[in-house]
Amino acid sequence: MSISPVPMEATMPETASCSEGPRRFGYLRGVQWRIDLGILPSSPSSSIDDLRLVAANSRRRYAALRRQLLIDPQVLKNGSCSPDVVMDNPLSQNPDSMWGRFFRNAELERMVDQDLTRLYPEHGSYFQTPGCQGMLRRILLLWCLRHPVYGYRQGMHELLAPLLYVLHIDLELLSEVRKVYEDHFTDIIDGFSFHENDWTHKFDFKKLPEYMEDCNGSESPVKINSLGELEPKIQTIVLLSDAYGTEGELGVVLSEKFLEHDAHCMFDALMNGTGGAVAMAEFFSPSPFGGSHTMFPPIIESSAALYHLLSIIDSSLHSHLVELGVEPQYFALRWLRVLFGREFALEDLLVIWDEIFAYENTKFNKPGTNDAESNVGVLNSSRGALIAAFAVSMILQLRSSLLATENATSCLQRLLNFPVDVDLLKLLAKAKSLQALAVEAINSTPLLILPRLHGRRNAGFTKAHIPSLDLTSPRTTLNMAHESYWEERWRVLHMEEERKQGSAASAEKQVPNRKKGWSERVRLRLSRTKCDPFRSKATFRKKNETDEGRKNIGGDVDFGHKIPAEVEEQDVKDTNFSTSETRCSSGCPGNEENSSNISDLSTPVRGTNDYVNMSGRSSVASNFSAEENDTDSVNFEPLQANPESSPLPVSELDPDDDTLNSTQNYHSVIKQAAGIKERKLLSDKFQLFWKFGRNINEGTSDRAAVSEDAIACDSGSDCNNVAGSSIVNGCNSTSGISKAEIIDQNLIFSLSDLGQSMLENIQVIESVFQQDPDQMGSLENCKNAIVGEGHITAMAALEELRKISNLLSEM
């Protein structure tokens, strides 16, 4: 075993950035990790003696375990009497028989050996030595025998190997220090040196005088007389290896003899989580986590949480990946199960694990969380959040190459062959910065995301379910659409009735939307505040949201703007957007109204054709809807005065046809200078729309998005997410796009009417644009934004609209 240890200084990167405070034994990874993992007492005031005590106890336990479990049936024969030969014969079918256990162990051992022979071949000089292999084998066997639930799974050996390695490194450090400060490790009494680890004392009288001379004329540069004079680090090292301290030799913290015991303890702690949330064993478990209410194995849940976090942080990348059908567990399985062990070289991995272990592993307790909202259990701690954040930062590292590929296979290839030459510190820094976000995300990962995997729970998520690249996404969304679709329908109808009884000024159509965005957007509009990084993730369940939104809006009708509302079946998601926000009619009455309009709209589209048409219409808006439902990055900060945006003339697919009405309303809205981003509404995610919109409006929406962003910025929101991503709600572009997602079968609407109204809306918008310079001060903001690029893009969008509406009118 002679890996040259990394020089002392370099071994301890200054991880002072760790918020948990200075690492007490940063230079002795083995000790530090044992503390972090919970094996050794972690309070800063615990003395070396305390450490020794705890170490000794854990070693005793391991020794007893070893004796008990790795027993040879033959040995027993000599001593004890095997009571019943019928039970205890080698061919016995009885699982309890000694022989049965023996055979099971043999089987386990065979599996372990298979993996061990292939462990870290590049560091073979350490890992492939028989001593090390023997230790690894015993540790793994013992652990697996103690936890028959998990058995042995490939990957466990890779978790164990670095642990053993760091212990080994510590010992090498110790021996180096010993060489330099030899005096402190050996008691020199009467001229004899009593080396602590000598099994025999060599009383070689003849050598005595030479030795003494050596001592005196020692060329060792360091000649220190008392322990106290040593550097604190060296002092600690000496103390940790003192054989005469508490518990004697068993308590020597840095001990070669007990390497196996310590490694086993660390491994056990890592796998069990020592009471915290992140228990690596869970990642190997095929069965759902205890407290989880989704019926998925923890690894699947965690992968979903990763994607959830990614969608918060970078929704365009997320949606891109989802569209391509790259399920998170394809790569996350390997990443999480061996804690990134396969993606990085051993030395780098140690740095990463330093960081990961530095974070606390205690579970977060969300008071008041009822089980139904149980979050991802296994990542539910700071440590878990950092792990998730690190994984996401890895994905972000590959962002450009992932976005460039249009092929799920090559995406996966890139993800699974993580580049070797990455700036690790940068990655870590990014991960840390994302950690807080991750904590939030994990706490609020809606269970609902997981249903997407519904029915495909098997470990082998077969290719069959991977949507083909381009159009499959619509299909998958279609699947999801189904369940919500009918509900939506019902609700829509229900609302329709209510509405009719109520007195909506204008027929409102509700556009069922898969994408959550809508209600969210509405809210956003209203709140016009901070840029909220937690965009609603459009998860499929927006039911609650929708309801809420609807309620909100319910009353206000007077717009007449038919803003295509995305009926949200889907939950928008984060708790961040509380309904209160939605209601906030703060100063944006207009907005509200608009929103309400939108929400109320509900006209189920009849037939696919309609859908398609509609989608065509919604075009831009839908473009982005194409994005997955999940990501919705709508962050629209409601603009203060956005006349252009405001008129999102919605499809008035309204039999009553308030076209005129809406136009009028529209004007009024403009005047109100409410900062609404009506456009946003349009994100409808109809899957069909998507198809259309995507192809047609890709460019448009992008541009629109840009303008949208520009506007948003103007209004002071800093949220600029997804700049340029098509996600940007199509709404933008749809200024004037009437997204009529009509769902109401009962309503008779004519497409031509639709087209008509669209045209009208377009006209209105155009006029607005032209009027732009004339607008009042309240519109100044918009003005700035609108002019120039925004203007052009909006015009372009309008053109598109025009085309579409022509199409429709022909029908």
Partner 1 sequence: MVLVLALGDLHVPHRAADLPPKFKSMLVPGKIQHVICTGNLCVKEVHDYLKTVCPDLHIALGEYDEETRYPETKTLTIGQFKLGVGHGHQVIPWGDLDSLAMLQRQLDVDILVTGHTHQFTAYKHEAGVVINPGSATGSYSSINYDVNPSFVLMDIDGLRVVVYVYELIDGEVKVDKIDFKKTTASST
**Is 93 near partner 1 (CB under 8 A)?**
yes
DSSP letters for 273-318: GGGSS--HHHHT--SPPTT--SSS-HHHHHHHHHHHHHHHH-HHHH
Three-state DSSP at 512 gives: strand
Smallest distance from the beta carbon of 88 to partner 1, in angstroms?
A: 9
> What is the CB-side half-sphere exposure of residue 588 using CA atoms within 13 A?
32
| Closer to partner 1 by Cβ: residue 93 or 365 | 93
**Closer by beta carbon to partner 1, 86 or else 464:** 86
Q: Considering the rule CB under 8 A, would residue 81 count as an interface residue with partner 1?
A: no
Residue 260 CB, nearest distance to partner 1 (Å)? 24
Q: Which is nearer to partner 1, 81 or 189 (by Cβ)?
A: 81
Considering only 77, 179, 463, 482, the residue that binds partner 1 (CB under 8 A) is 77
Pairing of strands 186-189, 192-195: antiparallel
CB of 79 to partner 1, least distance (A): 14
Nearer to partner 1, 89 or 397 (CB): 89
By CB under 8 A, residue 664 contacts partner 1: no
| CB 116 to partner 1: min, Å | 21
- What letter represents residue 361's amino acid? N
Q: Tell the smallest beta-carbon distance from residue 476 to partner 1 (Å).
A: 45
State the chain's maximal CA–CA distance in angstroms. Answer: 116
> Minimum Å distance from CB 111 to partner 1?
14
State yes or no: residue 73 binds partner 1 (CB under 8 A): yes
Q: How far is the CB of 92 from partner 1 (least distance, A)?
A: 8
Q: What is the pattern of x (binds partner 1, CB under 8 A) and - over residues 544-563? A: --------------------
Task: Select 89 or 472, whichever has its Cβ closest to partner 1.
Answer: 89
CB of 86 to partner 1, least distance (A): 5
Please count the other Cβ atoms lying within 10 Å of the Cβ belonging to residue 794: 30
Q: Which is nearer to partner 1, 76 or 404 (CB)?
A: 76
Query: Going along 651-724, which residue ranges are E strands?
Result: none
202 Cβ contact list (under 8 Å, min separation 6): none
78 vs 370 by CB, closer to partner 1: 78
Kindly state the smallest distance separating residue 114's Cβ from partner 1, in Å: 16
Whose Cβ is closer to partner 1: residue 100's or residue 446's?
100
Question: Taking CB under 8 A as the rule, does residue 85 contact partner 1?
Answer: yes
Q: What are the strands, taking DSSP E only, across 89-179? A: none
- Contact between 502 and partner 1 (CB under 8 A)? no
Smallest gap, in angstroms, from Cβ of residue 118 to partner 1? 23
By C-beta, is 4 or 93 nearer to partner 1? 93
Pick 97 or 687: Cβ nearer partner 1? 97
- Report the run of H or E that residue 352 belongs to, with start and end: helix 346-358
For residues 101 and 87, give the distance between their C-alpha atoms in angstroms, rounded to a whole number: 12
Considering only 19, 90, 207, 257, the residue that binds partner 1 (CB under 8 A) is: 90
Closest CB 110 distance from partner 1, rounded Å: 10
Q: Which stretch binds partner 1 (CB under 8 A): 36-44, 89-97, 234-242, 645-653?
A: 89-97
Interface with partner 1 (CB under 8 A), residue total: 13
Binds partner 1 (CB under 8 A): choice among 10, 91, 372, 420: 91
Region binding partner 1 by CB under 8 A among candidate stretches 86-94, 174-182, 263-271, 657-665: 86-94
Q: Does 89 bind partner 1 (CB under 8 A)?
A: yes
Under 8 Å between Cβ of 687 and 478: yes
Of 86 and 420, the one with the shorter C-beta distance to partner 1 is 86
Q: Considering only residues 132 through 171, tell me which ones interact with partner 1, judged by CB under 8 A.
A: none
Among 86, 189, 372, 464, binds partner 1 (CB under 8 A): 86
Give the binding range for partner 1 (CB under 8 A) out of 84-92, 395-403, 573-581, 628-636.
84-92
Looking at beta carbons only, is 16 or 76 nearer to partner 1?
A: 76
**Token pair belonging to 263:** 């490694």
CA distance 696 to 699: 8
Neighbouring residues of 769: CB distance < 8 A, sequence distance ≥ 6: 644, 786, 791, 794, 795
Task: Give the residue, chosen from 46, 103, 418, 655, that forms a contact with partner 1 under the rule CB under 8 A.
Answer: 103
Contact 452, 480 (CB under 8 A): yes
Pick from 584, 500, 492: nearest CA to 547: 492
**Paired strand residues for 726:** none
Interatomic CA distance for residues 278 and 140, integer angstroms: 19
Q: What is the residue type of 543?
A: K
Q: How many CA atoms lie within 13 A of 229 on its CB side?
A: 8
H or E stretch at 681: helix 678-681
In whole angstroms, the minimum distance from the beta carbon of 91 to partner 1 comes to 4
Check binding of 114 to partner 1 (CB under 8 A).
no
Nearer to partner 1, 72 or 406 (CB): 72
The residue type found at 498 is: E
The nearest distance, CB 93 to partner 1, in angstroms, is: 7
Sites for partner 1 among residues 13-72 (CB under 8 A): 72
Residue 72 or 96: the one with the smaller Cβ distance to partner 1 is: 72
For the four alpha carbons of 447, 448, 449 and 452, in that order, the dihedral sign comes to positive
Burial of 93 (0-12, 13-18, 19+ CB in 10 A): exposed
CA distances from 190 to 193, 208, 490, 546, 674 (A): 8, 10, 96, 88, 94
The minimum distance between CB 130 and partner 1, in angstroms, equals 20
Nearest approach in angstroms of CB 146 to partner 1 is 23
**33-61: b or e for each residue (b if 16 or more CB lie within 10 Å)?**
bbbbbbbbbbeeeeebeebbbbbbebbee
Distance of closest approach, residue 94 Cβ to partner 1, in angstroms: 11
What whole-number distance in Å separates Cα of residue 578 and Cα of residue 584?
10
- Which CB, 2 or 74, lies closer to partner 1? 74
For residue 763, state whether it binds partner 1 (rule: CB under 8 A).
no
Q: Does 418 bind partner 1 (CB under 8 A)?
A: no
Instruction: Determine the Cα angle at 431 with ends 429 and 436, to 5°.
Output: 110
Residue identified by tokens 């000790």 is: 31
Measured between alpha carbons, how far is 375 from 447 in angstroms, rounded to an integer?
Answer: 7
DSSP state of 81: P
Helix axis angle for 607-625 and 687-714, nearest 10°, is 30
Task: Quickly count: other Cβ atoms within 10 Å of residue 70's Cβ.
Answer: 14
Which lies closer to partner 1 via its Cβ, residue 102 or residue 330?
Answer: 102
Of 90 and 291, nearer to partner 1 (C-beta) is 90
CA distance 416 to 757: 51
Considering only the stretches 82-90, 515-523, 661-669, 714-722, report the one whose residues sit in contact with partner 1 under the rule CB under 8 A: 82-90
- Under the criterion CB under 8 A, does residue 74 sit at the interface with partner 1? yes
Is residue 13 within 8 Å of residue 24, measured between CB atoms? no
The binding site for partner 1 (CB under 8 A) comprises 72-74, 77, 85-86, 89-93, 102-103
